[in-house]
Amino acid sequence: MKNGVSKKSNGLMAGMAALAVAGALETSAHSADILIAMGIAKANIQAAARDPRVEVDPGWRIVINNVSRAFDRAKFLEATPGFTWEQCDEKQRVLAYVFRGGTEVYICPLQSKQGNDHMAQTLIHESTHVSGNYDECKTTEVELSITTLAGKQPYRNGYVKRCGFDGRFDFRGDSADWGVDAQPSGKAPSDWGVEQKPR
């Protein structure tokens, strides 16, 4: 909150009301970051959908359309202590996660420190999972492709290297013939958006 209410100057406010207001301000302050990242992610998805290389590629048209619809129905939530917090393992550099079959995307504190474009790319990754794709390499290819097609330089998530996307990523047409299939829901966490920092 850049120009928020001073925490020290509300002594005259009734106790409960002051607490409620402070809580609301904190919540909206964090949601603003998520909303900005959502706007960037949506714009990136739309830009990718309009790219001529996608328009002539039926497989990629389907994938990006599915991701776009999944993005629209996803709920992007801040993971907080006591609220699925235990999945946000900073040693494993967990940025965000979804549960298989779910539409709720939990955003970890580590992600909140990475900036808006970075979060936007993560939201695209998680939206790809929400669309029913739980293969991390295919999901990473979607995430890198949409970000690249939108003219941005993607960050390298924890799956980039092991999935063979070394060097500068280029969009690969004709590779999305795998489509996406909805998966049954379950309780186990299925996604670990792990970022590998360069060594």
Beta bridge partners of 104: 75
Q: Which of 154, 102, 156 is nearest to 129 (CA)?
A: 102
CB of 120 to Zn ion, least distance (A): 15
Q: For 131-162, b where at least 16 C-beta lie within 10 A, e where not — what string?
A: bebbebebbbbbbbbbbbbbeeebbbbbbbee
Residue with nearest beta carbon to Zn ion: 191
Q: If binding means CB under 5 A, how many residues of this protein chain bind Zn ion?
A: 2
Binding pattern to Zn ion, positions 118-137, x when CB under 5 A? Answer: ------------------x-
195 binds Zn ion, rule: CB under 5 A? no
Least Å from the CB of residue 134 to Zn ion: 8
Report the nearest approach of Zn ion to the CB of residue 158 (Å).
9
Residue in 60, 71, 16 with CA at minimum distance from that of residue 38: 71
Minimum CB separation of residue 160 from Zn ion in Å reads: 12
- Of 57 and 136, the one with the shorter C-beta distance to Zn ion is 136
Which of the ranges 25-33, 71-79, 112-120, 191-199 carries the binding residues for Zn ion, by CB under 5 A? 191-199
Q: What is the DSSP letter of 86?
A: G
Tokens of 175: 């590779």
Taking the C-alpha atoms of 163, 169, 171 and 174 in order, what is their torsion angle to the nearest 10 degrees? Answer: -30
Q: What's the rounded Cα separation, in Å, for the pair 162 and 140?
A: 11
Query: For residues 51 and 67, which CB has a smaller minimum distance to Zn ion in the complex?
Result: 67
Among 51, 57, 141, 191, binds Zn ion (CB under 5 A): 191
CB of 139 to Zn ion, least distance (A): 5
For the record, the structure tokens of 28 come out as 């909206």
Q: What does the binding site for Zn ion look like in residue numbers (CB under 5 A)? A: 136, 191
